[in-house]
Structure 1
């Protein structure tokens, strides 16, 4: 047993019995590397990572490999979900070396933590060869390696790329040309980006849902948005039996998933599909929302009503085994001669539609699973008795906050009081657990080994946006109070350059470089969420400093966002929503005006008990004259 036995991360605990003498990331390990003058192997992964498991079985459980690693290196294991700040820095370092990123991420560091080489998954023979080469180079050319590492570390300083702030008031319409550019990067046959493997990018999907619908239709992007949504809902990437989405599809058709299920995907996609249902009234989208929420409540919810991080791709040592079926298994549960329509609808064949004779449920058409409720229920009952994939029971603030926002949005759009009640209960639990009453520090995760890991920038920003949505729906001032506290935490704990904030919190240990996260990928960038939070708080609190901070952030990013819109999609959604295509925001005093009388006005409704006026409408950066009643409000809106 190595130095990981007292950790709480399921990923680190998976490696506690490796013959490799792993250390967690800690001061003792880093000091030991310096004292013994050993290069560091920094190996980063996560519990649901399939290739992380493969490399563990091939190399880290092998005595020959372990002896080589222990003799010449100081070996550190990091859970990227527990310490995303460390992962970001060394992934950037790998890219600076001109190497492809991914997980497992294996980076070689000098004793001072500066990187000089790395890679992702290495087969055992390649890993042994690399270890020997690195050991010889460190022994014979340490000075040259140090110079190289110093150079890579220097490149990591400052913001990720050059920023060229624009003056927002001098910019003409950008969103139409940006949407046209995005269109060229989408798959016209199966939806989503052209690439395989194919990942959902919720920030991009949200952008398409929240730009003006007429603009979407003029560029014919509404059909491409719906193409992706329906193909994903019909594909193997969506668990047709149990609900919820896998992390990505290994092919371009959304057929074969990489079977791990992540909270961050499902929390965001619930919001996407709810907004798409609001736009289209498509019952398939509503079904996806409800089945995904059922999956989260059944499979990932802890006893404290806070959600766990993920489900593994593997069970019984086989990827996807929990989710796939042989024809013989299916026929025993649902006889083919009585249910041939079901087999046809879900592309199930005697030889299997996937590898090794297995079938993945994959709908040929975008039909409702409810049409085959009896068959789906029968499969679910049998599957529930199988050996389940392992659960990563970390409870992370940002991922839960994405989910909180998705649940609040879904409950409001679907007018489902049960979903809405569950959403508020979940958010209230997040506040009490991650932001304890009277405590200035916000936590990144609830469980920790020796000392807390304090919240990173995305944790605070994502929770802040969920709190704003909760205030919008409830009018309860207590949610704004916590949001204000988070703004104060951001300003106190995160250094700032060019209007952007460092991802890492200065309440945690010191790292070799800052990380100003700006790219929107499968999760929105921390800074784009902070930007939106500042704009909201500036509006809700009439706080000029917050509004100007949000605008400064947009101005700093907008030029890059135009050049690569798919990976700045959340920034562009914020820009469209607040600057170029602002919706009317109606503040109303709920004591004198009923919310139900305002529904259907195509505006954002904000109940504010302290509002002196009955109704106040604001659009973009200006507000209109106050209204006394709903009739005068409607007349006012008709003139805009």
Structure 2
């Protein structure tokens, strides 16, 4: 296919950047030499940041960046830089903070106008075509006529960008007590939607990190109201249109309060975390819906986001083509009532009731998004069926829908592979195996772990961030190290291959050498070896994905119990102490930190299983939900300090320890479980 225009993005591998490679805009990727040229020419930077699955990014591209008249304005006055936020989260952090300081809100596409040195002075998200050209011409004119004024504003904004990320050293802070933690949860719970789950607002994001902590907290403290809220949220999410009932997997968020109509993009990082969450929730509650949801989510990832070498791709687009060839959000996923009647025949009345092909399930323009609103048992009783009979009907009909849907144009795939997101999915697989004991999950986990080791990891402990077409090119960020360390620890616990634990320690030591900010006690998002713009970011807020610093703090804590490295736990405690005010003022945005606080204030155990039958006993132990326990196993004497000098011929013994100090060994898993109960009561 011939193209009228081709710009420098044609040399990139990111699908998002390649989508813009044939715009008439003279786009370039972010490179130090581009900024050097901008300074030499005294030309403003126009920086546009988005990602491949972003609906409004596509809209703005079509309206503005594909228009030759708009492109002429941009090319005349600016050096135009396109950035994939998923490839360069370090730059995205800076300019998102800038946008929020300027406007009070953020989002993507993120459009920034900056001085030649990268300091921003204007920003916006989606802008309509007419307004876009007017704004750009005015900004260029202002810079030409009042450069001192623009530079002063940019300097003040740059100072604000630095200030908003400062974490003052507060080594005297004490970790939250149980009573203080209760107060944080009480304040947080005012926002809970106890009927539909999530928070009392729309849109609704799934926030797996928050639910993971609340599950741990509620089971540890016997807080039945919080546990009920968690179960309500998990059930409504699994019932909702946000979950793809046909092929499994979750979309990004719902635009309404009942989890019905999603923003249809499907992201690896959401699904990896949700596999972990639902697996743990199944272990804690025994609810089969949670197990089925986790398993079907893995099926989706394996079928639609995995390459031939067992690496996981990033996302599926929100938009897809209608039968008329028009790109629309959700076109691949929605259904018309008449089409369902024709397809399902005599099963349609039951299916209609089950998935609400009615006013409750209607979205717009005669399109329905499948959503449940009642349990299997309740609907089976209503239709005078046994639950297993109803389930068989539903499964049969969903298989028909899956076959029919395959005839449609599929959403576009973002096939770049990101280390951090693969780490989140790998952790999900280890949790699925831990609690379901299905060997295919640990086999897949090991294959993905080996993919990361082979393609993303160098001998010296250096990780790459991305992988595409057999090449890894961008230096890893703290999120990459943190997620992979966490996943490798989890993989070690379920398969007892010491290689993964040693790799986790090696990566941790690399971070301590290359990412640690000694002034704050936290880790920079970028390595000290890498360039940065305006500031070196400290990522501390837990959002849809936990902050890289909170994951690292928990990694250090866990590794301190395997290796008895006193410095690891001290580092984790120091990091948590610096965050105490954030925890008390805004608990819901620091849930992973709160979980570390819980681990440090409740009873925490190490369980070592040593002997010929260690694998079976580990398996028995790990079916139980025990977030306050780490586990290690070996069939012989091991160099891992937690296991060292514990092997006795012809016996398999379980050691329950705290800080390496162990009770007398026992031979039955039931005896060990009696010693490590999660619940502390009140």
> Per the shorter chain, which TM-score range?
over 0.9
Over 3 Å counting, the alpha-carbon distance change for 1:470 and 1:348 in structure 2 is same
**Hey, what does 2:155 align to over in structure 1?**
150
**Hey, what does 2:547 align to over in structure 1?**
525
**Hey, what does 2:661 align to over in structure 1?**
623
Q: Deviations over 1:593-633 (max 9, x none)?
A: 565276278554321542213543234x5734442644996
Over 3 Å counting, the alpha-carbon distance change for 1:149 and 1:495 in structure 2 is farther
What TM-score does the superposition give when structure 2 sets the normalisation length? 0.89
Does structure 1 residue 306 correspond to structure 2 residue 311? yes
Q: Secondary structure at the match of 1:131?
A: helix
What TM-score does the superposition give when structure 1 sets the normalisation length? 0.94
**Hey, what does 1:407 align to over in structure 2?**
429
**Hey, what does 1:331 align to over in structure 2?**
341
Residue of 609, 612, 624 corresponding to 1:588: 609
Q: Deviations over 1:254-291 (max 9, x none)?
A: 01000000000000001111111111111111110111
**Hey, what does 1:460 align to over in structure 2?**
481
Residue of 181, 204, 224 corresponding to 1:198: 204
Assess if the C-alpha contact under 8 Å between 1:2 and 1:16 holds in 2: yes
Over 3 Å counting, the alpha-carbon distance change for 1:480 and 1:504 in structure 2 is same
Matched residues in 2 for 1:421 and 1:369: separation? 29
Question: How many residues are aligned here?
Answer: 635
Residue of 127, 130, 138 corresponding to 1:133: 138
Matched residues in 1 for 2:553 and 2:155: separation? 33
**Hey, what does 2:52 align to over in structure 1?**
47
Which ranges of structure 2 fall in alignment gaps of 5 or more residues? 1-5, 322-326, 377-389, 639-643, 647-652
Does structure 1 residue 396 correspond to structure 2 residue 422? no
Does structure 1 residue 612 correspond to structure 2 residue 634? no
Residue of 561, 566, 573 corresponding to 1:544: 566
Matched residues in 2 for 1:301 and 1:529: separation? 25
Over 3 Å counting, the alpha-carbon distance change for 1:633 and 1:491 in structure 2 is same
Which ranges of structure 1 fall in alignment gaps of 5 or more residues? none
Task: Give the alignment of 1:188-337 within 5 angstroms.
Answer: 188-211=194-217, 213=219, 215-218=221-224, 220-316=225-321, 317-335=327-345, 337=346
Q: Deviations over 1:383-417 (max 9, x none)?
A: 01211000000100110100100111011101211
Assess if the C-alpha contact under 8 Å between 1:233 and 1:366 holds in 2: no
**Hey, what does 2:165 align to over in structure 1?**
160
Matched residues in 2 for 1:556 and 1:24: separation? 36
Does structure 1 residue 469 correspond to structure 2 residue 502? no
Q: Deviations over 1:74-96 (max 9, x none)?
A: 11000000000000011111122
CA positional deviation for 1:352: 7.6
Q: Please, what is the CA RMSD of the aligned residues?
A: 2.4
CA positional deviation for 1:591: 4.0
Over 3 Å counting, the alpha-carbon distance change for 1:350 and 1:464 in structure 2 is closer
Residue of 339, 353, 370 corresponding to 2:362: 353
**Hey, what does 1:101 align to over in structure 2?**
106
Q: Deviations over 1:548-574 (max 9, x none)?
A: 101101111122112111100011112
Assess if the C-alpha contact under 8 Å between 2:64 and 2:71 holds in 1: yes
Assess if the C-alpha contact under 8 Å between 1:191 and 1:228 holds in 2: yes
Over 3 Å counting, the alpha-carbon distance change for 1:31 and 1:369 in structure 2 is farther
Assess if the C-alpha contact under 8 Å between 2:357 and 2:368 holds in 1: yes
Matched residues in 2 for 1:633 and 1:279: separation? 19
Over 3 Å counting, the alpha-carbon distance change for 1:81 and 1:545 in structure 2 is same
Over 3 Å counting, the alpha-carbon distance change for 1:416 and 1:631 in structure 2 is closer
Does structure 1 residue 111 correspond to structure 2 residue 116? yes
Q: Secondary structure at the match of 1:252?
A: coil
CA positional deviation for 1:148: 1.2
CA positional deviation for 1:439: 4.6
